[in-house]
Structure formats: C-alpha cells, structure tokens
Amino acid sequence: MFIERVDIIRVNNPFTHPFETSFTKFLVRDALLIKIYSEGHVGYGECKAFFGPFYCPEDNGTSHHIIKNFLIPLILHKDIEGPESFIEQTWFIKGNNLAIAAVENALWDLKSKIENKSLKTLIGGVYDEVKVGVSLGIEPTLKDLLNKIDHYLAEGYHRTKIKIKPGRDLEVIKGVREAFPDIVLTVDANSAYSLKDIELFKAFDEYNLAYIEQPLRENDLIDHSVLQKAIETPICLDESIESVEDTRQAIEIGSCKIINIKSSRCRGITESIKIHDLCMENDIPVWCGGMTELGIGRVQNISLASLPNFKLAHDIAGSNRYFKEDITIPEVKISKDCTLIVPDDVNGFKYEVDEDAIDKMMVSRDIFK
Ligand code: OSB
Ligand code: MG
C-alpha cells in the first residue's frame, strides 16, 4: 500500500445527554478522524482520545502531535505492507496507544478496501451479529438514573452498566437493584478507588453484579489480585490492560476474571487479537469496550467483536444512544433483539462514511501529502 496522503480532521459532535464518569462530565464528542489515501482508496480511522487526559494520559492535543510528528512520517510516501508491519515500526514510541491505534485502524480499513474483504474476514471473525449492552453515566439523582435504565431496557439492551464514583456507589447500586432485581447489572469505577475501599467492594457482593469494571488504578495489577481474592464478584479490567504482556501478568496473578478490550487502548486491532487469543486460552471471556466513539470507530468495534471469545455484551450502543447525527451511512442502529449485524462480504452488509456529516462537524483539517 503506497501511502499518498494523510488527513487529520478534528470534529465536534454534541452528546444528546451529558455523560458523566468518575473522571469528568462530557457534553461534546471532540474527536480526531484519520484518512489515509492509497491507490484510489481511502482508509478511515478514529482516534478515541478526549479533549483532556482523563481516561488515560493522552488527549486530542497530544494525539494530534504524535500522529503528525511521529506516525505520519513513518508511512507517508512509503510502501507499507499493512497494519501489522506499521505496528512493528512503532516500537520506539512509549505509550500514546490511542494515537497509534487511530492510524493502525485506518490501515486495517485501507487493507480491507484494497483487498475487497471485510475486516471480519481479515481478522477471522466468526459471529454474524453481536449483542450489545448500555453504559450509563452518573445522573444527578437516583430517579434520573432509574428512568434512564427503564428507557434502555425498553430498547432491549442486554446488559446495564452504571458508572460509580466515591460517594455515588453502594447506595446507587442498592437503589438500582431494588428497582430492577433481575437485570444483568455491572458497575464501572474508572479506576477511582484503592485497596482501602476493600470493605465497600465486599458489600457489593450482595447485589449480584455480573462484574465490577476497573475498580482500582490502572497500574494496580497486584492490588486488583488482592481485591479479586477477597470478593465474589468478578473483576473486569479495562484501563489496566494495554498489551498482551499486561494481560499475561493479570491472568498469572489473578487480577481479574474478565477483560474488556478496546483496540484504542491497546495500540490497535493487531494487539487486541493477541489479547483476545491469550484470554481464550485461559478461559477469560472478553467483551468490546467503548469510548463514546463516532460511527467510524463504532463500526470497527462491531467487527472486532466478531472474534470467538467476545462472549459478553459489548459497549457498542446504537449511535442514537449518544448522538443526534453520526458519520456513517447507515447509522449504527440496534435490531429488535438488540444486536448489531457484523459487516461482512458474505452478507454484503457494509457501512459507508458520510463525508457531508463530517464536514458539518469539522473544526479543523490538516492535509499531509
Ligand atoms: O470506561 O468504559 C469506559 C466512556 C468513556 C471513557 C471510558 C469508558 C466509557 C464508557 C462508555 O463506559 C462506553 C460506550 O462507548 O458506550
Ligand atoms: Mg471502563
């Protein structure tokens, strides 16, 4: 693939409803889109960073810098074998996984277009459709949250995940469980707690949570292992898992029973497949995490989730969960039984990118050629 041109496009798309996590409250999806041009084709990637360094140390400012000054020079006007060889070339860059994944994802899309094969086929996906769950932010009151849960249960979402933070945890879980005794319920702490809170997590055991997502800080693999041994509820790691090496260590010391894979957090799809495979060998089910992405990233997540060990409901909601307008045609829309069809060359289903929608959301564009 000879790379002729790369664009970085910054877009803003307002959320229909504020999304609050333990680290910040989001009002707008500020995102970078990558377009890589080669041999008459364009590959698209979406950088999953946010406007500030909350979820991880990167943000759209640092990602833009890394993409422009370190990643584009690796590929522009060069003949690139594919996404895997690009990843090998990034060995000298510490961290900055979200920036690297944005380019890597675009190279997968380009490869898929040049070879005229779906991403599912390229990576060896097996599912025709994937089940989705919903991730709900912290709401001003319990009543607001219960209303939101009601709304998404009516749409058929297979799992309800609620965000928690210190001071907004046990009471909320209790309130939700009382109102909805039988739903598949999970909580996500986004690394807001420490082992000092062990008694609190023991108290969660009473509420039949399917898992607790990332209770402790990202580097706390040892403490997660201590916590996992002290509680019944499975721990699902998110922020802690950036590579197959992290995964090996987490499994070896028993830091979790489930892993959420986000290709962005792990430098891309190449490393995500390795993590998926290692988890499968070790009977650790995985599911596909989300970053409130726009359609480009959302659609690539659907394809990644077609790998066999993606066994639990994913954070790949319909676009309308977050946005009034999105950037794919068709928009990502859940079916009646709350699944999403995996784009594939067998069923002929595919998504196109809506360039007009991107133009409307565009804040800036840099062209490198
Ligand atoms: O931890 O899973 C997370 C959103 C932003 C940053 C981190 C997370 C989330 C979500 C939303 O939970 C998942 C989605 O895209 O629906
Ligand atoms: Mg999470």
Cα–ligand 1 centroid distance for 288 (angstroms) = 10
E strand or H helix that includes residue 279: helix 269-281
Surrounding residues of ion ligand 2, Cβ less than 5 A? 188, 213, 238
317 lines ligand 1 (CB under 6 A): yes
Q: Are strands 286-288 and 129-131 parallel, antiparallel or unpaired?
A: unpaired
191 lines ligand 1 (CB under 6 A): no
Q: Which pLDDT score is estimated for 172?
A: 98
Please report which residue ranges of 93-186 form alpha helices under DSSP H.
Answer: 97-115, 119-123, 142-155, 170-179
- pLDDT, one tens digit per residue, over 65-110 is 999 999 999 999 999 999 999 999 999 999 999 999 999 999 999 9
- pLDDT, one tens digit per residue, over 186-244 is 999 999 999 999 999 999 999 999 999 999 999 999 999 999 999 999 999 999 999 99
Please count the other Cβ atoms lying within 10 Å of the Cβ belonging to residue 109.
25
What percent of the chain stands above pLDDT 70? 100
Q: How would residue 51 be classed by pLDDT, with cut points 50, 70 and 90?
A: very high
Strand order in the sheet with 25-38: 41-47, 25-38, 5-20, 362-368
Q: For residue 346, is pLDDT > 90?
A: no
Ligand nearest the Cα of residue 294 is 1
What domains, with CATH codes, occur in the chain? 5-116+354-368 (3.30.390.10), 121-352 (3.20.20.120)
Q: For residue 328, is pLDDT > 90?
A: yes
Q: How would residue 310 be classed by pLDDT, with cut points 50, 70 and 90?
A: very high
136 lines ligand 1 (CB under 6 A): no
Q: Which pLDDT score is estimated for 29?
A: 98
